[in-house]
Amino acid sequence: MVAAYRLSYGATTRRTPADDPGRIGSSRVLVDPEQPDPLPDWAIVVRGGVATAKLLRAAFDKCFDKEGRHDASVNASAHLYAEEIALEARELHKYALPHRRMQTATVGRIRAIGADVVLSEPPPGHHAIRFSERPTDSQLDQLVAALRPACGRPNPVAK
What pLDDT was estimated at residue 92?
86
Query: pTM, whole model, 2 decimals?
Result: 0.76
Query: φ and ψ at 138, to 5 degrees?
Result: -65, -45
Could you tell me what percent of the chain has a pLDDT over 70?
Answer: 77
pLDDT band at 33 (very low <50, low <70, confident <90, very high): very low
Q: pLDDT confidence of 150, banded at 50, 70, 90?
A: confident
Domains of the chain by residue range: 2-15+37-154
Residue 95's pLDDT is 81
pLDDT in tens, 60-72: 999 999 999 999 9
Radius of gyration of the chain (CA): 15
Higher pLDDT, 100 or 17: 100
Position 52 pLDDT exceeds 50:
yes
CA 71 from chain centre, in angstroms, equals 11
pLDDT-derived band at 36 (thresholds 50, 70, 90) equals: low
Strand partners, 77: 44
What's the pLDDT at 37? 61
What 3-state DSSP class applies to 24? coil
What digits encode the pLDDT tens for the residues 90-148?
888 888 888 889 999 999 999 999 999 999 888 877 899 999 999 999 999 999 999 99
| pLDDT recorded at residue 84 | 92
Distances (CA, A) of 135 to 2, 32, 97, 113, 114: 36, 17, 24, 10, 9
- Asked if pLDDT for residue 9 goes beyond 80, the answer is no
